[in-house]
Amino acid sequence: MLNLTGKVILVTGGSRGIGAATARTLAGAGAQVIVHYGRNAAEAQALVTELGHDRAVALGADLSRPGAAAPLFREAAAWQGRLDVLVNNAGVAPSVTVDDPLDAWTATWAQTLQVNLVALADLCREAIVAFRAQGGGTIINVASRAAFRGDNPNAMHYAASKGGVIALTRSIARGYAKDNILAYAVAPGWVRTDMAEGYLREHAQEIAREIPLGDVVPPEEVANTVAFLASGLARHMTGATLDLNGASYVR
C-alpha cells in the first residue's frame, strides 16, 4: 500500500465517478483530501463523512464559470495551510455534431473547453505559483484516450479539450521541473461512471469487442494510478501520460 501521509490533495470533481474513487484511495493511503464538487453538495458531504472530517473537506465551485478556479484553489490551500498535489479530474462530455444548429455547436465547444481545459489551466496556474513558492508540488491531469486516438463525430470538442490537457501537462513538466513541480496525465479509455453509463449500456457488445482485456476500466484503477503518481515514487516520470484502456489503443 502506498503511503500518502502528510500530503494535502485537491481532487476536482471529487464527489462521484473517477473523482470519488480517487478521493477514497488517496484518503485510504493517508492523504488529506479536498473533495471539490460542481453542483452536488450533498454527494460531496456524504463522501467527506465517509472519509472522516479530519481527512477530508468538501468545497464547491462551478468550473463552467470563468474565474471560478482561482478562488477554489486558494480556499483549498487555506484548509491545511498548503496543497501538495492537484488532481484535475472534473470534466464534461456533452454531445454535438456538425449537423446540429450552429448555436448548439458553439455553446457545446465553449462549455467543454471552459470546464475541461481553461478551468484546468487556471488551476494549474494557481498551483504553479503556489508550488514554486513552497519548493515543489505535483499536478495530475485526467485526460483521455481520445486525446491521442481522436473520438466519435459527436465528441470532437471533447477530444480536442483533452489533447489540450496533454500539451499543457507536458509544457508544465518541461518548464517547471527546475522548481520541483511535477506534472503527469492519465489517459483512460472507457471507465464505468455516470459520464459513460448511457453509451456503455447502448454499445456494450461493440465496446467489449474493441477492448482486448474484455471490459471497461474500473474507476478504482484510475484512482490507483493517480495515487502512485501522487506518491513521488516515480518523480522522473514527470511529463508522462499513463494509459488505462485494456489495450484498446496501444500507442
Single out the segment in contact with ligand NAD by CB under 6 A; choices: 12-20, 77-85, 98-106, 229-237. 12-20
Q: Which of residues 119-138 bind ligand NAD (CB under 6 A)?
A: none
Which of 37, 158, 176, 184 is flagged as catalytic? 158
Single out the segment in contact with ligand NAD by CB under 6 A; choices: 15-23, 25-33, 100-108, 231-239. 15-23
Residues 6+ apart with CB under 8 A from 106: none
Sheet holding 56-60, edge to edge: 56-60, 32-37, 8-11, 85-88, 137-142, 181-188, 241-244
Minimum distance from CB of 131 to ligand NAD (Å)?
21
For ligand NAD, which residue of 2, 45, 55, 64 counts as binding (CB under 6 A)? Answer: 64
C-alpha distances in Å from residue 196, one per residue of 8, 18, 112, 169, 179:
29, 11, 16, 24, 37
Asked whether the beta carbons of 216 and 191 are under 8 A apart, the reply is yes
Q: Which residue has the cell 454499445?
A: 203
C-alpha distances in Å from residue 188, one per residue of 16, 59, 224:
16, 25, 12
Instruction: Verify binding: residue 38, ligand NAD, rule CB under 6 A.
Output: yes
Instruction: Verify binding: residue 70, ligand NAD, rule CB under 6 A.
Output: no
For ligand NAD, which residue of 19, 137, 164, 246 counts as binding (CB under 6 A)? Answer: 19
Q: Is 158 a catalytic residue?
A: yes
Instruction: Verify binding: residue 188, ligand NAD, rule CB under 6 A.
Output: yes
Q: Report the distance separating Cα 125 and Cα 96, nearest Å.
A: 29
Of 138, 190, 183, nearest to 165 by C-alpha is 183
For ligand NAD, which residue of 10, 18, 47, 96 counts as binding (CB under 6 A)? Answer: 18
State the catalytic residues: 158
Binding site for ligand NAD (CB under 6 A): 13, 15-19, 37-38, 62-64, 89-93, 115, 142, 144, 188, 190-191, 193-196
